[in-house]
Amino acid sequence: MENKDITISEAQQMVDQWIKTIGVRYFGELTNLAILTEEVGELARIMARTYGDQSFKKSDEGKDMADEMADVLWVLICLANQTGVDLNEAFLKNIEKKTNRDKDRHQNNEKLK
């Protein structure tokens, strides 16, 4: 697959099209929530070994952090599609919320200086 930039909305459409043509149907929402938790755990394992104090095990060989992040994103997009969430709209609202709430908070945090 060629490397190209896509929007969040395009990603949601791509996942939906894949599910409907290759994946047959979406798993149930609770199943996908469990899968999301599992995928976050796999990412955490790689992060702990790459940036934390844990050492790699033989079973960690071949694990790719970017691929694990993409797995997390995939399942999150599935959940958004299933529940009618427009992630583009939600993300923009979330950035606005954080900007309004934290406009001075981090600038004034001595721990960050």
pTM for the model stands at 0.87
Mean per-residue pLDDT, 38-51: 95
Q: In the CATH scheme, what is the homologous superfamily, with its name and number, of domain 9-112?
A: MazG-like (1.10.287.1080)
Question: Is it the case that residue 15 has pLDDT exceeding 80?
Answer: yes
Q: Which of 6-20, 25-39, 45-59 has the lowest mean pLDDT?
A: 45-59
Q: Where are the domains of the chain?
A: 9-112
In this structure, of 31-35, 66-70, 109-113, the range with the lowest mean pLDDT score is: 109-113
Flag whether pLDDT at 109 surpasses 90: no
Which DSSP string corresponds to 36-101? HHHHHHHHHHHHHHHHSSPPP-GGGTT--HHHHHHHHHHHHHHHHHHHT--HHHHHHHHHHHHHHH
